[in-house]
């Protein structure tokens, strides 16, 4: 498993300064699912799909360039095919819904928005969608066992106020993945934070076969 995490780890979101919170699930996270679909026999080679991809790639490049300041934490990408077409899905993580809305009303997304409005009448074989959810602190958890960094585990965080070197403070990017083989992060309740960390789910449902 090239690049896999050969241990049990959990993602814990650092604060805006890159400091890991003292409590599990100590930060709020906004999640957006952004999808596009081709219902055309040519799939991703259908008319207009290349143009859609061009705007999408431009937006991703801008988000990644501004990561650390724009609230964008990272994303994972998925492709699903069925007998009727091809579907692409991006799952992205943000500091807040406000950060999503700010980018959506910025020039790069507005350019894509105007392109879609202009072209949509000729692109009824292309579908787009999005869903947005907010997970308040203490209301989300994650676990990865022998798995490459993905989803929330693939996000990165800029550490601020680091050590001064050569007259500057170099950027330092942090992974959210921490050991979950022991301590409070060992159980689902513990990863959800203090209000869930009493092991009550085991009392209600019995010991989890996955908490080994």
pTM: 0.85
Q: In angstroms, rounded to a whole number, what is the distance separating the alpha carbons of residues 149 and 176?
A: 10
At 81 the pLDDT is 82
Under the banding of pLDDT at 50, 70 and 90, the label for residue 1 is very low
Band the pLDDT of 78: cuts 50, 70, 90: very high
Going from the N-terminus, what domains does the chain have, and what CATH number goes with each? 1-25+150-206+208-212 (no CATH), 29-135 (3.30.70.100)
Residue 206 CB coordination number (10 Å): 8
Helix (H, G, I), strand (E, B) or coil at 61: helix
pLDDT, tens digit (0-9, with 9 covering 90-100), for 41-63: 888 899 999 999 999 999 999 99
Q: How far apart are CA 165 and CA 74, in angstroms?
A: 27
Nearest to 154 by CA among 79, 75, 91: 75
The pLDDT tens digits for 97-152 are 999 999 999 999 999 999 999 999 999 999 999 999 999 999 999 999 999 899 99
User: What whole-number distance in Å separates Cα of residue 25 and Cα of residue 28?
Assistant: 8
The rounded mean pLDDT for the chain is 87
Q: Are 175 and 149 in contact (CB under 8 A)?
A: yes
Q: How confident is the model at residue 186 (pLDDT cuts 50, 70, 90)?
A: confident
| pLDDT band, residue 88 (cuts 50/70/90) | very high
């Amino acid at each position: 498993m090239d690049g896999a995490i050969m241990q049990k780890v959990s993602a814990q979101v650092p604060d805006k300064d890159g400091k890991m919170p003292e409590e599990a699930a100590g930060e709020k996270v906004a999640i957006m699912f952004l999808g596009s679909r081709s219902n055309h026999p040519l799939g991703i080679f259908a008319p207009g799909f290349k143009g859609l991809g061009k705007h999408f790639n431009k937006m991703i490049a801008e988000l990644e360039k501004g990561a650390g300041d724009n609230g964008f934490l990272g994303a994972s990408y998925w492709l699903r095919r069925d007998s009727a077409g091809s579907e692409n899905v991006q799952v992205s993580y943000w500091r807040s819904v406000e950060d999503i809305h700010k980018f959506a009303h910025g020039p790069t997304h507005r350019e894509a928005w105007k392109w879609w409005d202009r072209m949509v009448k000729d692109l009824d074989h292309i579908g787009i969608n999005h869903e947005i959810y907010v997970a308040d602190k203490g209301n989300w958890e994650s676990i990865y066992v022998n798995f490459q960094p993905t989803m929330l585990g693939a996000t990165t965080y800029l550490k601020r106020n680091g050590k001064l070197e050569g007259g500057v403070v170099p950027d330092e990017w942090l992974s959210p993945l921490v050991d979950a083989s022991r301590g409070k992060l060992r159980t689902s309740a513990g990863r959800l934070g203090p209000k869930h960390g009493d092991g009550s789910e085991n009392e209600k449902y019995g010991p989890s076969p996955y908490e080994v």
